[in-house]
Chain A
């Protein structure tokens, strides 16, 4: 057991990060499932992180309430910006959400209450491992149920062709807004959890690069199922640790992996059909 304790004390932050990243990857999976490319999830994560940290630091709210606020605050923002923004399609939406993300980052960078470029320090470390596991499990359960429900099928038809979906009587705008807001809430909760175990947050963690990282996790793992984004999150969290010996050249590897996956594994690493086929051949049956 001592070995386990040692292992845990060295690697617990890494395990926590995998959980938080999995939550983020699922948040962008949700919008992608509805055919929306939103680059705002890092900003929503930031809003959740800052709101929760400020509530913990200044208002002394209990952690459970703080986490709820971390989800509600970005969801409200998403609701407000979503109504006009989601009329945009494809790359225009990506660009608009990217611009929104920049506005959030620069605002946080310049506000006094958020601590400007130095960020916020001394956030209580309230996040326990089981919080992350429980929330992740709850989200996965909820999304699995959703996939098989009316909502999930509506998302699927909107993703395939939103004109056809609207002709079949699906309220496309409302479902898109729902996906966007729910994704924002998930990203916000992830931000709140993250802020309460890293002790420190700064605007640098919620910029364009982070939005890209989140997207990369989902795409790398594969957006065909829920397993894909979580697998992608685990790989991209572990990869930098495993590649530590490469030092500043680590990023090169990250970039090349991204390009290669896009080129050669169009559906991501986790593609049930391909894996099944592999086993079928291996089993010789």
Chain B
């Protein structure tokens, strides 16, 4: 029983971490709380669903298409909206409100197009295999989700820590102005970061859609709240922190649902978050990273 719950927690936590990774990346580099990340996640989910059902493509192509679609969306949001706000040097509340507008637009568009009911991947498109390890049932899809999420996170971490590109991103996170004086193409990297972050968000959407096999226009809302919790717990802009905090939130949620109360699971998560913010405003693992706009 416990090991089964641990597996559920690992699956959920790794998707939370993947989602929060893009969220925190955007905050770290662009200094923007992008509240459209949940809607982008939802768009990824629907894209995969349509590629798989309408065009009868294999699931991996659906995932790729989801990443492309949501990545492009993220890029568009940056080019059309965030860029203008940067140019104006708007206070950080402003891009937050703008991305709320984007989120409302996208989710009501989805509601108008697909209706409010739950859509599911048709039978046979989700790998149905199952292993039995000890007394634990391991679904192949769960293994896949955990594997993909961790592979993506590892790739991103490596890219940021080891490559020239990552070094440039870290320089921008310290100070965009100084970075641009050093000859770094700051605007280009802002666009690239927006694309990658949104692509990861879209992929997380597909993975959640597969895990619960339920896709709805409003599915981005709860995960956005979880994502906010994760990046605060992990320290805003801190990638490793987001990873650990994502897994932690998955565990906290699954365990409190299993052993405390199925309804209060979310309250436990947010109550915890609220308390942690009071004790450690910069997050559990975070340093103080206040940047003046």
Contact = CB atoms under 8 A, between A and B. Distances in A.
Contacts of A208: 221, 225
Interface stretch (B55-63, B187-195, B273-281): B273-281
B100 A103 contact: no
A94 B112 contact: no
Given A262-B97, A266-B88, A254 B232 contact: no
Interface stretch (A4-12, A136-144, A181-189, A243-251): A243-251
Interface of A: 37, 84-85, 87-92, 94-96, 98-100, 102-103, 106-107, 109-110, 208-209, 212, 215-216, 219, 247-252, 254-259, 262-263, 266
B112 A102 contact: no
B225 A102 contact: yes
Given A96-B232, A209-B221, A255-B105, 12 more contacts: A91-B33, A91-B92, A92-B281, A94-B96, A98-B225, A98-B228, A103-B270, A109-B263, A212-B104, A216-B97, A251-B112, A254-B105
Contacts of B112: 247-249, 251-252
Contacts of A212: 100, 104
B228 A99 contact: yes
B283 to A, nearest CB: 9
A250 B98 CA distance: 18
20 contacts: A85-B278, A92-B232, A92-B277, A92-B281, A96-B232, A96-B277, A103-B270, A103-B274, A106-B263, A107-B267, A208-B225, A216-B97, A247-B112, A251-B108, A252-B109, A257-B101, A258-B97, A258-B98, A259-B98, A263-B81
Contacts of B104: 212, 251-252, 254-255, 258
Contacts of B103: 255
Interface in B229-279: 229, 232, 236, 261, 263-264, 266-267, 270-271, 273-274, 277-278
B28 to A, nearest CB: 13
B85 interface: yes
Contacts of A248: 108, 111-112
Contacts of A85: 277-278
A258 B107 CA distance: 14
Contacts of B98: 258-259, 262-263
B236 A91 contact: yes
Interface of B: 33, 81, 84-85, 88, 90, 92-94, 96-98, 100-109, 111-112, 221, 225, 228-229, 232, 236, 261, 263-264, 266-267, 270-271, 273-274, 277-278, 281, 290
Nearest to B283: A92
Contacts of B261: 110
Contacts of A90: 92-93, 290
Contact of A251 (B88, B97, B111): B111
Nearest to B27: A91
A88 B274 CA distance: 12
Nearest to A250: B108
A35 B100 CA distance: 20
Given A88-B281, A263-B98, A266-B94, A106 B264 contact: yes
Contact of B102 (A37, A215, A219, A259): A259
Contact of A106 (B229, B236, B270, B273): B270
Contact of A262 (B94, B106, B221, B271): B94
Nearest to B93: A37
A50 B45 CA distance: 37
Given A216-B97, A255-B102, A263 B84 contact: yes
Given A208-B225, A216-B97, A252-B108, A262 B92 contact: no
B8 to A, nearest CB: 20
B105 A89 contact: no
A42 B124 CA distance: 44
* 8 A-B pairs with the lowest CB-CB distances in the bound complex, closest first: A251-B108, A255-B105, A258-B101, A255-B104, A259-B101, A106-B267, A262-B98, A102-B270
Looking at B33, B97, B236, the one whose CB has the most chain A CB atoms below 10 A away is B97
A85 B101 CA distance: 27
